Amino acid sequence: AQSVSQHNHHVILSEAASLELGCNYSYGGTVNLFWYVQYPGQHLQLLLKYFSGDPLVKGIKGFEAEFIKSKFSFNLRKPSVQWSDTAEYFCAVNLLYGGSQGNLIFGKGTKLSVKP
């Protein structure tokens, strides 16, 4: 079965540190890729997405992610984190079958705690 793996359950960083959260998926076909963020007490929000084109995508709040097809990966990065980035981050994959879109498959999430 198709799955999405997020390797880190909980990441703790100091402010200004660089961030990279891993995401891998298991599906050999065409995919759309997403990162969602859930701040404490808030709902899921779209951080960035990849459909096609430049594999390096930029999202809100200085986040970016790179799609590496050969590695089935879509890692999330930020050069310098802030305390306000403390949240849970979910990677999600949308599998495309013959041009139609399947449903979103989510990873288990990575909790990021940034120490001031």
Partner 1 sequence: GAVVSQHPSWVICKSGTSVKIECRSLDFQATTMFWYRQFPKQSLMLMATSNEGSKATYEQGVEKDKFLINHASLTLSTLTVTSAHPEDSSFYICSAGLPGGAVQETQYFGPGTRLLVL
Tokens of 56: 């390096």
Counting contacts by CB under 8 A, is residue 25 touching partner 1?
no
**Of the ranges 57-65, 67-75, 78-86, 104-112, which one interacts with partner 1 (CB under 8 A)?**
104-112
Counting contacts by CB under 8 A, is residue 74 touching partner 1?
no
**Which residue's CB is nearer to partner 1, number 42 or number 70?**
42
Of 2, 7, 1, 13, nearest to 74 by C-alpha is 7
- Do strands 31-38 and 87-97 pair parallel, antiparallel, or not at all (unpaired)? antiparallel
The binder of partner 1 chosen from 8, 22, 44, 66 (CB under 8 A): 44
